[in-house]
Amino acid sequence: MSVFKSLVSLAATAGVAGAIAVSPIFTLKAEALTEAQVLERLGSIPVFTITDDKGSPLLGAVPTQPNVKPDDSQLLFFFLGPDEAQMMLSQVQKSNPEVGKKAQIIVRSMNDAYTVIRQNKDKKVVFQFIPSKASIDSARTILTAQGVAADKIPNVPVFFAIGGQANNQGLLTMSIDQNGKKEQVVPFFLDQTDLQNLLDRAGKDQPDVTKTTKIQVASLFQVLDSMISKDNKPNPEVERFQFVPSRTSFEYIIKNSKQPATPQVAPAKK
């Protein structure tokens, strides 16, 4: 499924109220998905990158560190929010107008981004995922209230919900329509506000479920790692994990849907 189809499906689902429930918490490491299956799930997460008019990414120099010998590695950003990508584009246009006038924002899926990373693992290119400022601020607020130190805030946070009584808590699940069939999924949101809006809408019809529900934060990469199995045996619970892109990203993609679904973004050859 293309990133655009995944986005439309999941973003539309996130707007449906009254379709949530709580599932018992389970042990993630017992059985999980293969790496290939997990990477497929990343097709629902859009990333934004800055390229030239031919689709080749604009690479920057890696910032030098004190007492560290500089090298000639180059840096490629994958932004998880369009606003941050737009800020970078504006900086490029201001600092280097000749390059900036041909620069553009291209939408990819995180699955595609990982493909680019794997294809260029032997090159001097450093890849970095940049979450939206809103998601980092939300994660910091939630985790600070829980007594988590600032340096423990995930680099790329995702938001999920748990509910139920203290001794019987579980993960929030959501009912979605997959190819004409109703399925229960465990949603991980890239934007805390979208999850809160879902809970607020659902609370009008399901107050008993939502009044005990709390939003939690995890690292995207830890969630992905927990989904990968060492023995390739599937786990029905982990198979229900789905990532929900931010509504901001969804709206940006719809507004700019004229751009091709799979532009070329492999790092340009020197």
* pLDDT tops 60 at residue 161: yes
Which of 145-159, 161-175, 227-241 ranks highest by mean pLDDT?
145-159
Which of 11-15, 35-39, 216-220 ranks highest by mean pLDDT?
216-220
* pLDDT tops 50 at residue 220: yes
For 46-131, the fitting CATH number among 3.40.50.1100, 3.30.360.10, 1.10.540.10, 3.40.1350.100 is 3.40.1350.100
pLDDT at 169: 67
* pLDDT tops 50 at residue 54: yes
- Tell me the C-alpha distance between 28 and 227, whole Å: 7
Confidence (pTM): 0.77
* pLDDT tops 80 at residue 2: no
The number of beta carbons lying within 10 Å of the beta carbon of residue 230 is 9
- Tell me the C-alpha distance between 89 and 165, whole Å: 47
Window from 20-34, 205-219, 233-247 with minimum mean pLDDT: 20-34
pLDDT at 27: 35
* pLDDT tops 70 at residue 221: yes
Q: What is the pLDDT of residues 163-191, one digit of tens each?
A: 765 566 677 787 777 677 777 788 899 99
* Mean pLDDT score, 74-80: 87
- Tell me the C-alpha distance between 231 and 68, whole Å: 40
* Mean pLDDT score, 59-74: 67
Window from 65-69, 73-77, 138-142, 169-173 with minimum mean pLDDT: 65-69
Sequence spans of domains, the chain: 3-44+132-254, 46-131
* pLDDT tops 70 at residue 68: no
Share of the chain above pLDDT 90, in %: 21
pLDDT at 6: 37
